Structure formats: structure tokens, C-alpha cells
Amino acid sequence: MQTLTTLDLGSNMIEVNGSLHLTKVLTNNTALEMLDLRTNTIGNKGEHHISTALTMNKTLTTLKLNANSIGDDGVRCLAHALIKKRGKIFVST
């Protein structure tokens, strides 16, 4: 059986609503290792959704968030999620 381990969703205008859907996927996914969300206008609220999923996902090792208009509040939320997450993850912002 083949499993998806890398997903590039860069420049897809995911925005806040899309990040909510991604939260559901990331929470239950047991194979994805790299997720590229660069240039999707996720913003602080969307980052809150992603951060929630990060605390529950055990397989993701790389998350690319460059160019998403994430401010101080979103970065703080991400930092708290990374502290709670077990294992290492590389995040680019």
C-alpha cells in the first residue's frame, strides 16, 4: 500500500477556511511527514487552526508556512503548539 508522505499546497489560496479543513486532516493523519503551505494567506486565525492540529499529529516533521501573513499572535500560538508536540519538527516561516 502506498501512503502520501509529502503534500505541497503552496500558493493555493487556502486562507482561514481551508486551514480549518486541514486541521481535521492533520489531526487524524498517520503518514504525512512534510506539509508545504507557503503563500496561502492563512494569517493568525488560520495559524491557530494549524497549531491545534500540530499538537495531535505525531508524524509531521516539516511544515512550511512562509508568506502567510502570520503575525506575533500566530507565532506565539505556533510556539505553544510546538512545546506541546512530542518529537521534532522543522518549521519555516
CATH number of the domain bearing residue 31: 3.80.10.10
pLDDT at 93: 81
Question: Is residue 39, in this structure, part of any structural domain at all?
Answer: yes
For residue 43, the SS3 value is helix
pLDDT at 46: 97
pLDDT at 15: 96
Question: CA 12 to CA 69: how far, in whole Å?
Answer: 15
pLDDT at 87: 78
Question: Is residue 17, in this structure, part of any structural domain at all?
Answer: yes
Task: Say what the pTM is.
Answer: 0.92
Q: Which three cell numbers stand for residue 59?
A: 508524524
Question: CA 51 to CA 65: how far, in whole Å?
Answer: 12
Question: Is residue 86, in this structure, part of any structural domain at all?
Answer: yes
Segments forming the whole domain that contains residue 62:
6-92
Question: Is residue 54, in this structure, part of any structural domain at all?
Answer: yes
Question: Is residue 19, in this structure, part of any structural domain at all?
Answer: yes
What string of pLDDT tens digits covers the 93 residues of the chain? Answer: 668 999 999 999 999 999 999 999 899 999 999 999 999 999 999 999 999 999 999 999 999 999 999 999 999 999 999 999 877 899 998
pLDDT at 86: 72
* Domains in the chain, number: 1
Question: Is residue 1, in this structure, part of any structural domain at all?
Answer: no
pLDDT at 6: 97
